[in-house]
Amino acid sequence: MDSKPKRVMAKKKVNIKDVAAKAGVHPSTVSRVLNPDTASMVSRPVAERVTSIASEMGYKRSPMASGLRTGRSYTVGVLIPDLTNPIFPPIVRGIERSLGERGYIAILADSDNNKKDEHAILDSMKSRHVDGLILATAHRKDLAVNTCIDEQIPLVLVNRSIDSHAVTEVINDDEKGISLAIEHLLELGHRSIAYLGGPPDTSTGRDRHQAFKKIMRAHGLEPDPELIVNCAAFTEPEGHLGFLSLLKKHRHFSAVVAANDLLALGCFDALQESELRCPQDISVTGFNDTPFMDRLSPPLTTVQIPLDEMGAKAAQLLLNLIRDPQIDSETIKLKPKLVVRGSTAKPRT
């Protein structure tokens, strides 16, 4: 009600020139001191005086205003395929923490496993002048990624990679992860092991599938194509459908390696529906060790990857690229480890 008079009476906003005058420095020095990217260019005593005067006077640097001069928006677009997949909140938290330390903020969008048009989302982010993008949505051949490369938008892929290694990416060592799961099952005595994979047009879908076949062969076991099903998405319902189709083939197997935790949960559902028990009848392994997997019934044996670190690392690499677009692209592979829980046991004899 009374907010309009308040606005009229509001005292004049302190600007950068006021702070500079009081500190006895040039406004550009104030700008440098208050920008984390350039603060180190100013001597410590001056920086401390300016910071303290700016704080006293209630002056806050506006990233948007300085963006008008530097051409930067201090905003990074983050595109993820499915916010309700529990792999992503920890990744996003790592990204936001890293960005926040440098005065950047994230614009987050969820493509709902491609149901929304990723191109439209990217266009929308570009029209908001993001300084760079972090994509967790990449497909192996990805037009959106190609567009960003063509338009020279700084870009980092997280969790998934593209076929051509032209982009900086922070991913898992998928082969190592799958080998940990298989070797654990072999040690328990399993020999007939099924594989429930993800979409082959994603690097995680393709790489984990290839790794499964390679590691089985390395242990002298020829993978049975009838025991391999790739699902259309990394979700519980797709895992449920995929594993039901495996069970309906009535081929013998005593364990299944699922390509992520949600697919493994789909296996739990299909097993329950088929009146089979885990791990007594069939052992199940997951991938990612997302939150709560230790609390399930049975607790899920799964490949653990450092999700928060993956996000933080992706953000750091992107900020480096924004500062220096000429940096060569690189691929960072994070090391997974196996967490053994109650969903795996010796096969019945």
Q: Which is nearer to a second copy, 216 or 293 (CB)?
A: 293
The one segment of 15-23, 35-43, 80-88, 181-189 that binds a second copy by CB under 8 A = 80-88
Q: How many residues does the chain have?
A: 349
> Is the distance from CB of 262 to CB of 239 less than 8 angstroms?
yes
Q: Shortest CA distance to 338 belongs to which of 171, 183, 213, 160? A: 183
Distance CA 36, CA 50 (A): 14
Name every residue whose Cβ is closer than 8 Å to that of residue 26 and which is 6 or more positions away in sequence.
20
- Write the interaction track for a second copy spanning residues 49-78; mark x where CB under 8 A is met and - where it is not: -----------x-xxxx-------x-x---
Q: Could you identify the residue written with the tokens 């933080």?
A: 312
- Write the interaction track for a second copy spanning residues 166-205; mark x where CB under 8 A is met and - where it is not: ----------------------------------------
**Minimum CB–partner distance for residue 292 and a second copy (Å):** 5
326 is a contact residue toward a second copy (CB under 8 A) = no
* Binder of a second copy out of 291, 330, 340, 348 (CB under 8 A): 291
**Minimum CB–partner distance for residue 204 and a second copy (Å):** 20
84 is a contact residue toward a second copy (CB under 8 A) = yes
Name every residue whose Cβ is closer than 8 Å to that of residue 55 and which is 6 or more positions away in sequence.
none
298 is a contact residue toward a second copy (CB under 8 A) = yes
**Minimum CB–partner distance for residue 56 and a second copy (Å):** 17
Three-class SS of residue 6? helix
**Minimum CB–partner distance for residue 28 and a second copy (Å):** 19
Helix (H) or strand (E) holding 19: helix 16-23
Measured in degrees and rounded to the nearest 5, phi and psi for residue 286 equal -110, -165
C-alpha 205, offset from chain centre: 15
Three-class SS of residue 71? coil
Which tokens belong to 120?
Answer: 């439209």
Q: Which is nearer to a second copy, 20 or 109 (CB)?
A: 109
Q: Which is nearer to a second copy, 126 or 333 (CB)?
A: 126
* Binder of a second copy out of 46, 47, 57, 83 (CB under 8 A): 83
The one segment of 14-22, 156-164, 281-289, 295-303 that binds a second copy by CB under 8 A = 295-303
* Binder of a second copy out of 152, 324, 328, 349 (CB under 8 A): 152
Name every residue whose Cβ is closer than 8 Å to that of residue 234 and which is 6 or more positions away in sequence.
82, 85, 198, 199, 202, 204, 205, 259, 260, 262, 263
- Write the interaction track for a second copy spanning residues 233-272; mark x where CB under 8 A is met and - where it is not: --------------------------------x--x----
Residues 93-112 that bind a second copy (CB under 8 A): 93, 96-97, 100, 105-110, 112
Based on the number of CB atoms within 10 Å of its own CB, is 277 exposed (0-12), middle (13-18) or buried (19 or more)?
exposed
Q: Please give the radius of gyration of the chain, using alpha carbons only, rounded to the nearest integer.
A: 25
Distance CA 224, CA 234 (A): 22
The one segment of 17-25, 89-97, 134-142, 171-179 that binds a second copy by CB under 8 A = 89-97
**Minimum CB–partner distance for residue 29 and a second copy (Å):** 21
- Write the interaction track for a second copy spanning residues 115-134; mark x where CB under 8 A is met and - where it is not: -x----x-xxx-xxx-----
113 is a contact residue toward a second copy (CB under 8 A) = no
Measured in degrees and rounded to the nearest 5, phi and psi for residue 216 equal -60, -50
Name every residue whose Cβ is closer than 8 Å to that of residue 141 and which is 6 or more positions away in sequence.
162, 163, 201
> Is the distance from CB of 181 to CB of 231 less than 8 angstroms?
no
Q: What is the contact surface with a second copy in residues (CB under 8 A)?
A: 3, 6-7, 60, 62-65, 73, 75, 83-84, 86, 88-90, 92-93, 96-97, 100, 105-110, 112, 116, 121, 123-125, 127-129, 149-152, 265, 268, 291-292, 295-299
